[in-house]
């Protein structure tokens, strides 16, 4: 029987397939019998005092099996935050609605919720009209209930971009508003004295996605004490010119060259509202504001959002 305890005076375990059994007599069909063949010693996998699971590791089915094997029915884990996603905008309608000429289906909240699924957080979502008093009332209540609020839209310079004003009135202390990057320049971040953190993303979908990957994902990784991910780099396949003094998050398609290095082919999108282009991309290449011309063959960091030969997506 596989896994059975060997008798104390036994030297070998012979597989059934290597026996010829006739008339109640077993003959071994092996020329040699190496001692301790097919024997798994007690404590051989891991010595007493050895670490079985490293801290900061997200528990998967593999870790569940280890914990069950050593009799650990309960373990200490990081507490996941209670999160509320709020999108806003009169021009936005739900996914099942047919938009009129002046409307769009809202997608940012769905993108943020999808990203958060990897963290198994307690999550709720709502959509608000561009009515400042309603936004203030809803955000005020949320500050008392949630650990993290993610707002989408209303942070730029438009007529109905009330979010920075509302957050200031509610006592949320701004850490910064606007980042020298494209896409995602209007991004806002702050914290309430009672502890709730607020991420306010631009309304354009690609901007929200970029800022969520660049700022929200590392924030959650750090807060949940997850293992730090290695920074990946890729070799640019084609020249890119970008004149504004902003960090550019260029959409790229990844592959491997003959040397086994990751390469990145730039993809032209149609601005920060073009979600379709993301479906063809694997990552953003982070191109620094210190230069305006990026040459093929140069290596730059990437922010990947799609699983690519085992890389985090």
DSSP characters for 144-202? HH-SEEEEES--SSSTT--HHHHHHHTTPEEEEE--SEES-TT-EEEE-TTS-EEEEE-
**pLDDT value at residue 310:** 44
- Could you tell me if 212 and 251 lie in one domain? no
**pLDDT value at residue 308:** 62
- Could you tell me if 86 and 142 lie in one domain? yes
Alpha-carbon distance 73 to 69, whole Å? 10
Extract the tokens encoding 20: 């010829």
pLDDT tens for each residue of the chain, 313 residues long: 667 888 888 877 888 888 888 888 888 887 777 767 788 888 888 888 899 999 888 899 999 999 999 999 999 999 999 999 999 999 988 889 999 999 889 999 999 999 999 898 999 999 999 999 999 999 999 999 999 999 999 998 888 889 999 999 999 999 999 999 999 999 999 999 999 999 999 999 999 999 999 999 999 999 999 988 889 999 999 999 999 999 999 999 999 999 999 999 999 887 787 888 888 999 999 999 999 999 999 999 999 998 765 455 5
- Could you tell me if 219 and 238 lie in one domain? no
In a domain, 16, yes or no: yes
Burial of residue 108, with CB atoms counted within 10 A of its CB: 0-12 exposed, 13-18 middle, 19 or more buried: buried
Q: Helices H, strands E: what count in the chain?
A: 7, 18
- Could you tell me if 243 and 285 lie in one domain? yes
Decide: pTM greater than 0.75. yes
Query: With contact defined as beta carbons under 8 Å apart, do 6 and 13 qualify?
Result: yes
- Could you tell me if 33 and 88 lie in one domain? no
- Could you tell me if 97 and 179 lie in one domain? yes
Q: Which whole-number Å values give the CA distances from 61 to 73, 78, 114, 119, in the listed order?
A: 14, 18, 21, 15
Q: Assign 165 to helix, strand or coil.
A: helix
Residue 287 forms beta bridges with which residues?
248
Extract the tokens encoding 249: 């998050």
Q: Could you list the residue range(s) of the whole structural domain that residue 32 is in?
A: 1-40
Alpha-carbon distance 170 to 268, whole Å? 40
């Amino acid at each position: 029987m596989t896994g059975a305890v060997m008798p104390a005076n036994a030297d070998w375990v012979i597989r059934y397939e290597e026996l010829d059994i006739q008339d109640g007599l077993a003959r071994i069909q092996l020329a040699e019998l190496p001692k301790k063949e097919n024997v798994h010693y007690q404590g051989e996998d891991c010595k007493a005092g050895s670490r079985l699971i490293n801290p900061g590791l997200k528990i998967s089915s593999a870790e569940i099996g280890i914990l069950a094997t050593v009799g650990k029915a309960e373990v200490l884990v990081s507490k996941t935050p209670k999160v509320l996603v709020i999108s806003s905008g009169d021009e936005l309608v739900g996914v099942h609605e047919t938009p009129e000429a002046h409307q769009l289906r809202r997608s940012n909240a769905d993108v943020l919720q999808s990203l958060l699924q990897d963290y198994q957080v307690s999550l709720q979502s709502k959509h608000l009209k561009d009515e400042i008093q309603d936004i203030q009332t809803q955000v005020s209540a949320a500050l008392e209930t949630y650990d993290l609020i993610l707002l989408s839209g209303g942070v730029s310079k438009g007529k109905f971009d009330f979010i920075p004003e509302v957050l200031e009135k509610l006592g949320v202390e701004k850490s910064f508003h606007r980042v020298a990057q494209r896409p995602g320049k209007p991004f806002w971040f702050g914290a309430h004295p009672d502890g709730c953190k607020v991420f306010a993303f631009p309304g354009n979908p690609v901007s929200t996605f970029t800022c969520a990957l660049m700022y929200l994902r590392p924030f959650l990784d750090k807060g949940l004490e997850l293992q730090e991910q290695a920074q990946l780099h890729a070799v640019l396949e084609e020249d890119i010119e970008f004149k504004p003094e902003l960090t550019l998050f260029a959409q790229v398609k990844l592959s491997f060259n003959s040397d086994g290095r990751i390469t990145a082919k730039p993809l032209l999108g149609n601005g920060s509202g073009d979600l379709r282009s993301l479906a063809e991309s694997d990552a953003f290449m982070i191109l620094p504001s210190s230069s305006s011309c990026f040459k093929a063959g140069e290596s730059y960091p990437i922010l990947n959002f799609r699983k690519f030969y085992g890389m985090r997506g």
